[in-house]
Chain A
């Protein structure tokens, strides 16, 4: 019984949150990695693109709510999501036309692109704060739980409860669907293959008659979609705050690099590696250990390896270890 309790506690406090967070990071890292493989730079504005998409989705959610439109047990934000994606697509396409295209034509060095993305980051950040303000926004509505802790306890008779939030369920399901669609697109469609071809060998892609501007456009559209979905899922699960989204940049980059920049499979693996490490290292294991240790050996501290405030340090440490021992990442990424 104690063993079961320990498993449930572990699932409840570590596995489920880590899977949800990992899915969110993976979607974010996919966006970073796609930009990297097609446009060949590290996009520092990605966190703020996510923030913009989420903000637009929130605005549409409010609009729908004011009209009395809901989505039943699911959050209204899911209804608003397509509109948020469209708005973000418009934003990134305008940004590409007005900002990035110039440097593409110039064949500027990657580091110049990174600088430019800093400027874009500032502007998007300012824009989001200007429109919705810097504060915290919670916009999840509908049913809060799929399984409530108490219901689970009554059902199983265990001492530990297991709760699965609706947002966690949505996150995982959506992430699976989105990733499946993305891989189908990249591996099965002509446009997707042309994107991979362009990423693989730009000159040969040109010789094959692949239009780079089209490839770039599709890339931005996909990135806008991924970023918005990742941002909305994160916001539903936790809350939306512009600055938090900017800070997500670090774990997202860590995921993409750990997996291998430019490799979509790597981005997903990296997302889960980072999420699981962050959660397990900053989790107070006392609750789980209590069930496993003999009574007289009960741990007296929290048995927490590091305080939660150091979660960035975890992503960073993993990043450094991977960079030192396997600079191209776990899945072979690009090494430009």
Chain B
């Protein structure tokens, strides 16, 4: 099997000088795929994603994007390399309008961004209607759409979402997942951390179950959903 497009390979590390949270943890995603990281509370799901994005100290192991070793790069440099990241909280500029949020997402680009903005509006039609409203006045689900839209504005080569459905209602969650599938169909690899393991694995091409910072189970979404061990331990039977 050839090298995946984005891989965090055997990552071990923790925040600052603190103890290791990840132990030899491997996460990877390929174009057109949705990879989902699930696991119990405190398993290091978000930490694993942050490690891929360069927000913590990876003491051993490596992160490669398109074959290039980016382990030493800062998060900002990774954005320039083509990684789009949507944090779990405070992921929009609340005092700025929806359109300004998208513009700021494209800050590093010097070319014409109107085409990308149209694509985002096509993907999230509600944002087109609310383009000149301050993002802070939108509902929870709409805010998440702004957040994802902002990250898409850089035309990233890979999109990373940290619990995009945290705190939104089940209906909104389903809609968000639909959108995410749509994004993935355009060929953009998506790496996502999810609390709602069952729903997330249903749309996942690849699933990683982490336990205490280690890869516990890995497989396609369907395989994991079918695995009795995984079902028993994490999906409530």
Which residues in A have some Cβ–Cβ distance to B below 8 Å?
190, 193-194, 196-197, 200-201, 203-210
| Residues of chain A lying within 8 A (CB to CB) of residue B75 | 206-207
Contacting pair B107 A204 (CB below 8 A):
no
Contacting pair A193 B104 (CB below 8 A):
yes
- The answer for the CA separation of A336 and B104 in the assembled complex, in Å, is 23
Contacting pair A200 B108 (CB below 8 A):
no
Please name 18 further chain A to chain B contacts, defined as beta carbons within 8 Å, in addition to the given A197-B107, A207-B85, sorted by A numbering: A193-B100, A196-B100, A197-B96, A197-B100, A197-B104, A200-B95, A200-B96, A201-B90, A201-B92, A203-B90, A204-B91, A204-B93, A207-B79, A208-B105, A208-B107, A209-B80, A209-B108, A209-B154
Which residues in B have some Cβ–Cβ distance to A below 8 Å?
75-76, 79-80, 85, 87, 90-96, 100, 103-105, 107-108, 150, 154
Closest Cβ–Cβ distance, residue A58 to chain B (whole Å)? 38
Residue of B nearest to A193 (CB): B100
Instruction: Please list 9 pairs of residues, one from A and one from B, whose beta carbons are closer than 8 Å in the complex, sorted by A's number.
Output: A190-B103, A193-B100, A194-B107, A196-B95, A200-B93, A205-B93, A205-B104, A208-B79, A209-B79
- The answer for the CA separation of A194 and B109 in the assembled complex, in Å, is 13
Closest Cβ–Cβ distance, residue A235 to chain B (whole Å)? 34
Closest Cβ–Cβ distance, residue B34 to chain A (whole Å)? 21
| Residues of chain A lying within 8 A (CB to CB) of residue B103 | 190, 193
Contacting pair A210 B87 (CB below 8 A):
no
- The answer for the CA separation of A209 and B95 in the assembled complex, in Å, is 19
Interface of chain A, main secondary structure: helix
- The answer for the CA separation of A210 and B107 in the assembled complex, in Å, is 7
Closest Cβ–Cβ distance, residue A205 to chain B (whole Å)? 7
| Residues of chain A lying within 8 A (CB to CB) of residue B90 | 201, 203-204
| Residues of chain A lying within 8 A (CB to CB) of residue B95 | 196, 200
- The answer for the CA separation of A201 and B92 in the assembled complex, in Å, is 8
Contacting pair A200 B94 (CB below 8 A):
yes
| Residues of chain A lying within 8 A (CB to CB) of residue B94 | 200-201
| Residues of chain A lying within 8 A (CB to CB) of residue B104 | 193-194, 197, 205, 208, 210
Contacting pair A190 B92 (CB below 8 A):
no
| Residues of chain A lying within 8 A (CB to CB) of residue B107 | 190, 194, 197, 208-210
Instruction: Give which listed residue, A190, A201, A206, contacts B93 with CB less than 8 A.
Output: A201
Residue of B nearest to A199 (CB): B95
| Residues of chain A lying within 8 A (CB to CB) of residue B105 | 208
- The answer for the CA separation of A197 and B136 in the assembled complex, in Å, is 13
Contacting pair A207 B96 (CB below 8 A):
no
Closest Cβ–Cβ distance, residue A301 to chain B (whole Å)? 49
Residue of B nearest to A263 (CB): B95
| Most chain A beta carbons < 10 A, residue from B79, B85, B91, B95 | B95
Closest Cβ–Cβ distance, residue A329 to chain B (whole Å)? 14
Contacting pair A204 B96 (CB below 8 A):
no
| Residues of chain B lying within 8 A (CB to CB) of residue A194 | 104, 107
| Residues of chain B lying within 8 A (CB to CB) of residue A200 | 93-96
| Residues of chain B lying within 8 A (CB to CB) of residue A208 | 79, 104-105, 107-108, 150, 154
Instruction: Give which listed residue, A193, A197, A201, A206, contacts B76 with CB less than 8 A.
Output: A206
Contacting pair B76 A204 (CB below 8 A):
no
| Most chain A beta carbons < 10 A, residue from B94, B104, B105, B154 | B104
- The answer for the CA separation of A85 and B28 in the assembled complex, in Å, is 54
Instruction: Give which listed residue, A193, A196, A207, contacts B87 with CB less than 8 A.
Output: A207
Closest Cβ–Cβ distance, residue A281 to chain B (whole Å)? 34
- The answer for the CA separation of A201 and B104 in the assembled complex, in Å, is 11
| Residues of chain B lying within 8 A (CB to CB) of residue A210 | 104, 107
Closest Cβ–Cβ distance, residue A210 to chain B (whole Å)? 5
